[in-house]
Structure 1
Amino acid sequence: MYKDLEARLHDIFWNNEPDADESHLLEKFLLKYPGKALELGCGSGRLLLPLLQKGYNVEGVEISKDMLALLQREAQKMRLCPQVYLADISQHKTSTQYDAITIPAFTLQLFSRDAALSTLIKLRGMACEGAGLYITVFIPWPEILDALEPDAWHPDKETTLSDGTIARCKTRHQIDRTSQSLSRDQHYTISDNSNTILEEQYVHQDLEWYLLPELILMLNQSRWKFDGYDADFSLGNKDSDASLLTLYASAV
Structure 2
Amino acid sequence: MYSHYGPLCTAVYHLTKPTGYSLNGDIGYYAERLVGITGPILEIGVGTGRMFIPLLKQGFNMIGIDQSKEMLTVCKEEAKRVSFSPKLICDDWTSYPGTETYDAIIIPTSTFCLLPTEEEATRALKQLYRLLVPGGKLILDLDLPFYPEVGEVITSVHTIDETSGITLERKTLAVDWLDQTITTHLTYHKWVNGQLIQTELQEMILRWYGLTEFKLRLEAVGFKNISLSADYNFEEEPVDANQTVTFEAQKINNA
Give me the TM-score of the superposition, normalised by structure 1. Answer: 0.86
Structure 2 partner of 1:225: 224
CA deviations on 1:7-66 (whole Å, 9 max, x unpaired) are: 121132235999444111210121154421111111122211221122100111111111
- In 2, distance between residues paired with 1:142 and 1:11? 27
CA RMSD of aligned residues (A): 2.5
Letter aligned with residue 119 of structure 1: A
1:121 is aligned, of 126, 132, 147, to 126
Structure 2 counterpart of 1:90, one-letter code: T
Match of 2:91 in 1: 87
Distance of aligned partners of 1:33 and 1:221 in 2 relative to their CA distance in 1, 3 Å threshold: farther
- Residue 131 of structure 1 aligns with an amino acid whose one-letter code is G
Q: Which structure 1 residue ranges, 5 or more long, are not aligned?
A: 144-148
Check if 1:58 corresponds to 2:57. Answer: no
What amino acid is the match of 1:154?
A: I
SS at match of 1:151: coil
Counterpart for residue 8 of structure 2:
5
Q: What's the offset of the Cα at 1:213?
A: 0.9
Count of residue correspondences: 245
Amino acid at match of 1:182: I
- Please tell me the residue identity of whatever aligns with 1:213: T
Q: Compared with structure 1, are the counterparts of its residues 163 and 35 closer, same or farther at alpha carbon in structure 2 (3 Å cutoff)?
A: farther
TM-score relative to the length of structure 2 = 0.85
Rounded to whole Å, the distance in 2 between the matches of 1:35 and 1:186 is 38
Say if 1:219 and 1:226, in contact at 8 Å, map to a contact too.
no
Identity %: 23
CA-to-partner distance for each residue in 1:150-187, whole Å, 9 max, x for gaps?
123223x4444344644432211110011101110012
* Residues 128 and 209 (structure 1), Cα distance of their counterparts in 2 relative to 1, 3 Å cut: same
Task: Check conservation: 1:33, 1:131, Cα contact below 8 A.
Answer: no
User: Is 2:227–2:235's contact at 8 Å kept on the other side of the alignment?
Assistant: no
Residue identity opposite 2:151 in structure 1: D
The residue type paired with residue 136 of structure 1 is: D
SS of match in other structure, 1:93: coil
Q: Confirm or deny that 1:49 pairs with 2:53.
A: yes
State the alpha-carbon separation in 2 of the partners of residues 80 and 126 from structure 1: 24
Distance 1:152 1:197 in 2: 24
Q: Judging changes above 3 Å, is the alpha-carbon distance between structure 1 residues 89 and 223 closer, same or farther for their aligned structure 2 residues? A: same
Residue 142 (structure 2) aligned to one of 111, 114, 137: 137
Q: Indicate if the aligned counterparts of 1:34 and 1:100 stay in contact, CA closer than 8 A.
A: no
Shift of 1:223: 0.9
Is residue 231–residue 246 contact of structure 1 (8 Å, CA) maintained in 2?
yes
SS at match of 2:202: strand
Q: Distance in 2 between matches of 1:93 and 1:208?
A: 25
The residue number in structure 1 matching 2:33 is 29
C-alpha distance in structure 2 between counterparts of 1:84 and 1:120, whole Å:
21
Q: Is the 8 A contact 1:220 1:226 kept in 2?
A: no
Partner Cα separation in structure 1 for residue 230 and residue 167 of structure 2: 28
Q: Secondary structure at the match of 1:90?
A: coil
1:49-98 deviation line (CA, Å, top 9, x unaligned): 22112210011111111111111122222221111111112332223221
1:212 aligns to 2:175 (yes or no):
no
Partner of 1:71: 75
Residues 120-165 of structure 1: per-residue CA shift (max 9 Å, x gap): 112211211111100111124232xxxxx2123223x444434464
Q: Using the TM superposition, name which of 182-191 and 235-244 deviates more.
A: 235-244
